[in-house]
Amino acid sequence: MARMKAIEAAVAVLKKEGVHIAFGVPGAAINPMYAAMKALGGIEHVLARHVEGASHMAEGFTRTDQDNIGVCIGTSGPAGTDMITGLYSASADSIPILCITGQAPRARLHKEDFQAVDIESIAKPVTKWATTVLEPAQVPRAFQKAFHIMRSGRPGPVLIDLPLDVQLAEIEFDIDSYEPLAAFKPSASREQVEKALDMLAASEKPVIVSGGGVINAGASDLLQQFAELTGVPVIPTLMGWALSLMIMNSWLAWLGYKRRIVTVTGRCLIPILCLESVIALPIDTPGLSTFTLKAESLFILILNPRRLAVCSARISVLFPMRKQRLS
């Protein structure tokens, strides 16, 4: 088994996971990663003017293609805290990005050392997972786990914090034997799908409220086909505006913002202009009482199951749009 620096193993894993571009700003505590990227090749680096900007660039890159994972790199201390806004934005919109930060050596942690910020604790509320890797041999496993978490269930961002001495430590690692972990994608049962279709068939004036989850899943064409086949009108949310060009024949209206029309966050289902039932494609909602009239709601969600506690629906179906076909 080959011996290499832990940070070289990290870069090798990035390449094996399909990363070919990264955004960031170099700094003392993360420079070993830049050296490893230069030595191993295969990953283009885009220099940002500010680390927060790099996090937004990573988010934008992920949005351009459902298979992309945006990577943001920064040094210790303020670089990590500067990423928080980008991490929050990605978390709110279910966009997977990987933020990598340098850190002070392990012996200097929790001793108020220069730029030795506890970024793991700061980032946890705005990520699916945040960790400071303290054992060099665990670096490849941490990156493997990060990609698995980002892609599984409801997508979202993660942060990996690497102390300087961990990056430089030598470990044994065989990249040829490395395999990405399969992402967990919930699926609906046939019974749930048939019940959903029964509700649609029995509805008097159904409406599809379609959000960013359709775009993230690369399922815009399926939505177009479904809307045209059923004749059900579509209302895109703020996250789903890009769908309007594909669904012009089915487009009904825009969703508003901050309850001006129907939503709280711009991605919520509130069934307006519906007397009987509503179909909603991947959305996330904090409240459904406004403008519900007498509507019944069918949810097709990509989100954390704990959020179901705030949803009120006849059926709650969790599955990725691209994989599931109503047939």
Percent of the chain predicted with pLDDT > 90: 49
Is 169 in the same domain as 199?
no
Q: Are 35 and 143 within one domain?
A: yes
DSSP codes, 141-202: HHHHHHHHHHHSSS---EEEEEEHHHHHSEEE--GGG--PPPPP-----HHHHHHHHHHHHH
CB atoms within 10 A of CB 229: 9
pLDDT tens, residue by residue, 56-66: 999 999 998 88
The pLDDT assigned to 247 comes to 59
Given a contact cutoff of 8 angstroms between Cβ atoms, the answer to whether 7 and 33 are in contact is yes
| Residues whose CB is less than 8 angstroms from the CB of residue 46 and which lie 6 or more positions away in sequence, other chains included | 21, 22, 23, 24, 54, 57
Q: Is residue 115 part of a domain?
A: yes
Q: Distance between CA atoms of 326 and 22, rounded to whole angstroms?
A: 37
38 found inside a domain:
yes
What's residue 278's pLDDT? 43
Q: Which two tokens stand for residue 244?
A: 């309007």
Structural domain ending residue among the three candidates 133, 152, 177: 177
Q: Are 261 and 113 contained in the same domain?
A: no
Domain contains 7: yes
Residues 133, 232, single domain; the answer is no
Token digits of residue 175: 């990249």
Q: What is the DSSP track for 293-305?
A: TT-EEEEEE-S-G
Q: pLDDT-based confidence at 251, cuts 50/70/90?
A: low
pLDDT beyond 50 at 305: no
Amino acid identity, position 245: L
Q: Is residue 140 part of a domain?
A: yes
More confident position, 324 or 19: 19
In-domain check, residue 323: no
- Domain assignment present for 151: yes
For residue 143, the model assigns a pLDDT of 99
In eight-state DSSP terms, residue 251 is: B
Q: Does 203 lie in the same domain as 130?
A: no
pLDDT exceeds 50 at position 309: no
Phi/psi for 72 (5° steps) reads: -120, 135
> pLDDT tens across 91-140, in order?
988 899 999 999 999 999 888 777 889 999 999 999 999 999 999 999 99
Q: From 177, 198, 231, give the residue that closes a domain.
A: 177
Confidence band (pLDDT; 50, 70, 90) for 273? Answer: very low
The string of pLDDT tens digits covering residues 35-50 is 999 999 999 999 999 9
- Kindly report, residue by residue over 5-25, the tens digit of the pLDDT: 999 999 999 999 999 999 999
At 307 the pLDDT is 44
Residue pointed to by tokens 């340098």: 102
Report the domain count for the chain: 2
Separation between Cα atoms, residue 6 and residue 33, nearest integer Å: 10
In a domain, 183, yes or no: no
Residue 249: domain span: 190-318
- Kindly state whether residues 170 and 38 are assigned to the same domain: yes
Instruction: Count CB atoms within 10 A of the CB of residue 48.
Output: 19
- Residue 252 included in any domain: yes
Q: Looking at the DSSP assignment, which residues form a beta bridge with residue 256?
A: none
Question: Sorting pLDDT into bands at 50, 70 and 90, what band is 255?
Answer: low
Q: In what order do the strands lie in the sheet with 277-280?
A: 234-236, 208-210, 277-280, 296-301, 315-318
pLDDT tens by residue, 179-223? 999 988 777 778 877 887 787 777 777 777 777 777 777 777 888
User: Is the same domain home to 128 and 255?
Assistant: no
pTM (predicted TM-score):
0.80
Bridge pairing between strands 3-5 and 97-103: unpaired
Type of residue at 257 = Y
Give me the CATH number covering residue 312: 3.40.50.1220
Q: By the 8 A CB rule, do 279 and 271 touch?
A: no
Question: Domain containing 54 — which CATH number?
Answer: 3.40.50.970
pLDDT at 244: 58
Q: Do 21 and 164 belong together in one domain?
A: yes
The span from the CA of 70 to the CA of 16, in Å, is 15
Q: Are residues 121 and 159 in the same domain?
A: yes
- Please indicate, yes or no, whether residues 13 and 101 belong to a single structural domain of this protein: yes
**Mean pLDDT score across all residues of the chain:** 79
Residue whose entry in the numeric block shows the structure tokens 């700061």 = 122
Q: Are residues 145 and 38 in the same domain?
A: yes
In 3D, which of 55, 119, 120 has the Cα closest to residue 93? Answer: 55
Q: Which of 134, 155, 177 is the last residue of a domain?
A: 177
Q: What is the pLDDT of residue 280?
A: 45
Does residue 169 share a domain with residue 106? yes
